[in-house]
Amino acid sequence: MNTTEAKIYSGFSRQLQLWRDEVVRHEQRLGWKVGFALPVDQQRFELPSALVGYLTQARHLSSGQCYRAPATAMLKVEPEVAVLIGRDVSVGASLEQAQAAIASYAPALELVDSTRSVHDDIEAILAGNMFHEAVLLGAPLPARAYDRKHLELSLAINGKETSTLEHQRVPQDFSALILTVAGLLEAQGERLLRGDWIITGAAATPVPVQGGDSIALDMGFMGKLKLTIG
C-alpha cells in the first residue's frame, strides 16, 4: 500500500472537505476517531503516525438503540476509550498540556463498515472516513476519576464474551494521540476544539457483527453500553 505523505495529505484533505460539507455546514460536529493507533500497525504500513477520521452527530447512537445498517454493510464493532477535550489544543502544546486538556472519559463502541472503501489505498481509506459507520458514547466520567491501572473490558455478542481488554492497545495516557490529532488538523487549516470527542482506537480486536446481533460492553468503572444491529 502506498502510504507516502502526499497520499495521506490528499486523502485527509478530501475527507475534511466532505466533513465541511456534511458536518460543519449542518452543525453536526461531534469529534474525531483515531486509526492505526498502534506503533506496530504504523510500522507495518509505513505510516508516519496514527491517522484521523471524523465523528458526526448524525451517526451518534444512544445506548440501547437498535441500529439499522445498510443491507450491504460488512460490520465490525470496536470497543474504545473516548476522551472529551475540555480546551482547545494546538500543535505547539506540550504533552502535559495535551493530557490536561482531557475533561472527561467515556466508554465507546464504534461500528466500521469494510465496504466503505478499498483496503489497499490509503488515500481512498482516508477520503472514505476510515470505514466509519457509527459511534456510541457512554456517560462522561470526570478525568480525575479515570484510572488506567484498573481499566477493564468485556465485549459480549448475543450473551457470549468475545473480547477482553488488550492492554497494549490502550496507552498509559493519551497526550501523544491528542497532539497527533491536533497536528493533522492544523496541517489542513482546522483545529482540535473544546467539546470535541476523540475515540482513541480499538481497545480489543474488532469483532464482526450482523443484523440481529445484540452487543454489550462492560468497561467496569467506566460504565456499560448496549446496542442491537437491526
Q: What is the CATH number of the domain that holds 122?
A: 3.90.850.10
Number of domains in the chain: 1
Whole-model pTM: value is 0.97
Rounded (5°) CA angle 211-57-31: 110
38 within some domain: yes
132 within some domain: yes
Partnered with residue 155 across adjacent β-strands are 163, 217
217 within some domain: no
Residue 120 has a pLDDT of: 83
CA distance linking residue 6 with residue 20, whole number of Å: 21
CA distance linking residue 211 with residue 137, whole number of Å: 21
Flag whether pLDDT at 118 surpasses 80: no
User: Could you tell me the sign of the dihedral formed by the alpha carbons of 189, 195, 200, 204, in that order?
Assistant: negative
Distances (CA, A) of 145 to 106, 127, 223: 11, 36, 12
Q: What is the pLDDT of residues 159-180, one digit of tens each?
A: 999 999 999 999 999 999 999 9
122 within some domain: yes
* Number of CB atoms found within 10 A of residue 112's CB: 23
229 within some domain: no
Using an 8 Å Cβ cutoff, are 90 and 186 in contact?
Answer: yes
| Strands 197-202 and 29-35, bridge-based pairing | parallel
227 within some domain: no
125 within some domain: yes
Q: What is the pLDDT of residues 14-57, one digit of tens each?
A: 999 999 999 999 999 999 999 999 999 999 999 999 999 999 99
155 within some domain: no
Rounded (5°) CA angle 96-100-106: 130
Flag whether pLDDT at 189 surpasses 90: yes
Domain that holds residue 29: 5-60+79-147+166-204
